[in-house]
Structure formats: C-alpha cells, structure tokens
Amino acid sequence: MSFPETLSPDSYVTLNSGQRMPVVGFGLYKATDAGNSCREALKAGYTHIDSARHYANETAVGEVLRDSECAKDRDSVFLTTKVKAPEHGYETCKNAVIDSVTFPKPDRWDLILLHDPTAGSQKRIEAYKALAEALKEGKTKSIGVSNFGVHHIEELVAANVGPLPAVNQVELHPWCQQRWIVDYCKSKGILIQAYCPIVRGKYMDHPTLVNICNKVGKTGAQVLIRWSLQHGFVPLPKSDKAERIQENFDVFSFELDEESMAQLDSLDQGDAGAISWNPTRVE
C-alpha cells in the first residue's frame, strides 16, 4: 500500500491488492437524494463513491452511472459497497453480494467491505470467506472491512479464509483518532478510510480549528479533510448541497504545516470523541 507524496484531484493510493483508489471519496450515508448527490459529486470531480447495502442506495448509484448525461463512465469511477451485519454468515453474505451486482445496481464493485463486526466471530469469518469468493469471481476487485478493531482483523488473518483486507474504514478525525487501529493497519499495509472526517460539522467553531482556518484561508471542512489526507487516510466527506460537495473536494491547493497538524493531533479524545456508533471494541 503506497500513498502519494504530492496530492492532486487525480491522485490515487495503491492498495495491497494492487488496485488504485482515488484519495478522496464521496460518502452516501443518509443522503436525502442519493442519486442527485452522487451526480453532483461526479460533476465536482470525485471519482470515488462510497455506498452500502444498509444505506439502500446501491440502485441509485447504478442508475446514475448508466445515465447518458453522467459526468463519468463506470470504468473511471471507484465504487464501494458494504454488507451489513444481519447478512453476515457464508450463504447470506454470498446472496447479498449477488444482489448487489444485480440490475439495476452496478454490475460490479471495486471494493466490498464487511460493514461492521457485530455479527460475532463465526459469522464474520464466514462472511469474509464469501467476500473472498466474490473477489475470485470478479464481482469485486478488492475486499476489506469497516469498523473492525485490531482483534477482529487478526481473527480473519488467523482463519485464513481470504486475503489480508485491503481497507479498514473507521470513524476518524482529530477528536477520535483510533491510533491503536491506525498504527496496526499501517504496519500491515491495510489502507485506512476515514468516515465522519468533518465530524458532521460539530466542531467548526472550535478555537484551534478556527485559528488554522484563518491561517490557511480555508473552511473547517477543508482543513479537516486535508488533515486526513496528510496522515495517509482516504477521507469520505458527505453532503447533499452542491456547493458543499464542491468545497469538500477543493483540498489540493494548500497544505497544513507541521504546527497545524500537531495542534489538530492534540485534540484526540479517544473513544469518547466518537460521534457515531464506532463498534470497534465489540467482541
């Protein structure tokens, strides 16, 4: 897994699977109109869309990419989906993947993740085995996990039912840095994707963030996304507003200096800083 030293809108990271992933993705969690948001993101320059079966918007993604007026063709867009915990287990996960590649949904995905570890040990292992088979069958180009703690990943490695996860997608921002997971994944060559990278707007008035925004002349969201990028994470900002969608992608014309990065790093509250369910420590 290698992250580019110089970042641009066309930058990508090479996963441990050998596949290339654009360094900023667009998240569709709780999108009011997933199709319109996806369409606006593609117009703004995003080439990386993050969906999930739980979000119930895979069909919207497929329809947008088949639209003759779509700003991008399918081969130029990196698509992610996730199989939710109630569908974990071998047969249920296998059937979920088949459903996710059935018209009117996209006919293939670039990355399929296990959405979270809450189904329990046996079902996690069985589901990952099903993802490994989907990989061999060409339904996806890479597989991975989301919301997994170190013990969950080590469990999959020990079970030896598939390749090392290419990705672990977790909540990640200055107030919840999940360093125990980040350090482990980096040591193993597993890419970290950061969801909630702008903390759902919760800390936009925080004095440290405001001071850095004034220093670099950028918004709080842009600074937080840039923080993710400079740590080697792939952030997944989301918005339903076209102007915010564009703003969140305009993060390649500036850098945060060492002082600003250190100031943001100092805000970590550990697990207490999470604003989502963050089930990384469940058994």
Q: Which residues are annotated as part of the binding site?
A: 115
User: Among this protein's residues, is 55 annotated catalytic?
Assistant: yes
28 in Cβ contact with 196 (< 8 Å): no
140-146 and 234-235 beta bridge pairing: unpaired
- Compute the Cα dihedral for 81, 25, 264, 165 and give only its sign: positive
Phi, psi at residue 242, to the nearest 5°? -55, -40
Full 3-state SS string of 123-175: HHHHHHHHHHHHHHCCCEEEEEEECCCHHHHHHHHHHCCCCCCCEEEEECECC
Of 12, 55, 128, 195, the active-site residue reads: 55
- 114 - beta bridge partners? 83, 145
- Taking alpha carbons only, the member of 6, 61, 8 closest to residue 250 is 8
169 in Cβ contact with 193 (< 8 Å): yes
Letter for the amino acid at 106? Answer: P
Inter-axis angle of helices 121-136 and 150-159, nearest 10 = 60
95 in Cβ contact with 123 (< 8 Å): no
Tell the residue number behind the tokens 């995003």, with chain if given.
46
Annotated binding site for substrate: 115
Catalytic sites, residue numbers: 55
